[in-house]
A and B are shown apart, each in its own frame.
Chain A
């Protein structure tokens, strides 16, 4: 991975491409992430019900793959899903996965 491709993954997104956190169909929490860094912070903030809703619908993987265009983090989130965590265990797993990837990308970019 080149510094330019890591910079692209770390970029600030448009409102249209942001990730919007819902707790169920049509119920928007008011939290959104406009970059991978914001996404990592929001994982620590939003209700675990929202994390469960999106993980098991495949929304995180879809956003990571299609919007961030980071195959690596997409695969790591898929691996988290296979463990079927819920509640705070899910929050911790996602936090660890996303934060680790964020640090890797920041190092590549510096």
Chain B
């Protein structure tokens, strides 16, 4: 693993390890080593380096909330802002517990795109009306409630 302009250059084995843990992060070092034909200690060393250098940001879990009886709705909210205030609006949105993701887009106008979660439509509307619309610089808001998720994958390593 080499550092060049703050970008890590990984070798073939690093990529294979990343792919293996992306598919199933509960695998042991031995299981990954067996699949890839290397010692478990090699897998351990490589993963520790990937963690230390911030390539692996965190180990997490994908919880099926519906199995716990927790129902919620997800929405994509597009916030049109005054360009002078967009950074501040994005920062404020990032601080809200209802907001899971915040991105900036410069397609035609300056937009902030956020993924929002709420228990129901009333809670979603109340959050947007009371916490988002009043923010300085918010010009208008378009929100789409997601009714059916067809595919949800994170970037899959192909190398």
Contact = CB atoms under 8 A, between A and B. Distances in A.
B121 A25 contact: yes
B141 interface: yes
Interface string A7-39: 000000001101010100111111010000000
A25 B145 CA distance: 9
A20 B134 contact: yes
Given A15-B134, A18-B134, A20-B134, A28 B140 contact: yes
B13 interface: no
Contacts of A20: 129, 133-134
Interface residues of B, number: 20
A6 to B, nearest CB: 26
Nearest to A21: B133
A15 B138 CA distance: 12
Contact of A28 (B75, B124, B138): B138
Nearest to B76: A26
A18 B136 CA distance: 13
B128 interface: yes
Interface of A: 15-16, 18, 20, 22, 25-30, 32
Given A15-B134, A26-B141, 17 more contacts: A16-B134, A20-B133, A22-B128, A25-B121, A25-B125, A25-B143, A26-B124, A26-B125, A26-B143, A27-B142, A27-B143, A28-B138, A28-B140, A28-B141, A30-B80, A30-B140, A32-B133
Closest A-B pairs by Cβ, 6 of them = A26-B143, A30-B140, A28-B141, A20-B133, A25-B125, A15-B134
